[in-house]
Amino acid sequence: MNKNINKIEESILRMTAVVRQDHAAQTARSFGEETNQDIKPLGWWVLVCGDHLDQESFNRREKTRERLLEEVRKSGVILPENIWVWDEAGAAQLVLSTVPTLKRAERLARHLRAKGLTIRIRREDI
């Protein structure tokens, strides 16, 4: 019985992934974006910025990151993973989203700033 339930769960997960992928492609097309998987232009990072990181202490750097994560969570933003980006000035920066156009990045940044977050937009750099 458990084997059958596991197969059903796996099937549901696969079907959900296919539906979500199709919806994402339709949404991208509605914004006039490229949906061809072979073409991967760089997008725009929408970053939340925190305090400066202490280069001398790993523990203090972690506390700075934890404070920024708490600020993000309090604003109502939930991230599936934490992607930290190095900053020339040594500030904690966390990727909130990667979007394909500067216009969408600016729109998202305005929304996030209204929540009290310090936001920076940068060209995606992989």
Answer yes or no: do 50 and 111 share one domain. yes
Answer yes or no: do 70 and 8 share one domain. no
Answer yes or no: do 49 and 11 share one domain. no
Its pTM stands at 0.66
pLDDT tens per residue, range 21-66: 665 565 555 455 555 656 566 789 999 999 999 888 999 999 999 9
Expressed as residue numbers, the domain containing 59 is: 44-123
The DSSP code sequence of the chain is -HHHHHHHHHHHHHHHHHHHHHHHHHHHHHTT----TT-----EEEEEEEEEP-TT-HHHHHHHHHHHHHHHHHTT---SS--B---TT-EEEEEEEEESSHHHHHHHHHHHHTTT--EEEEE---
pLDDT computed for residue 8 by the predictor: 80
Answer yes or no: do 70 and 98 share one domain. yes
pLDDT tens per residue, range 74-109: 999 989 899 998 888 889 999 999 998 899 999 999
Answer yes or no: do 24 and 65 share one domain. no
Domain count, the chain: 2
pLDDT computed for residue 35 by the predictor: 56
Answer yes or no: do 58 and 118 share one domain. yes
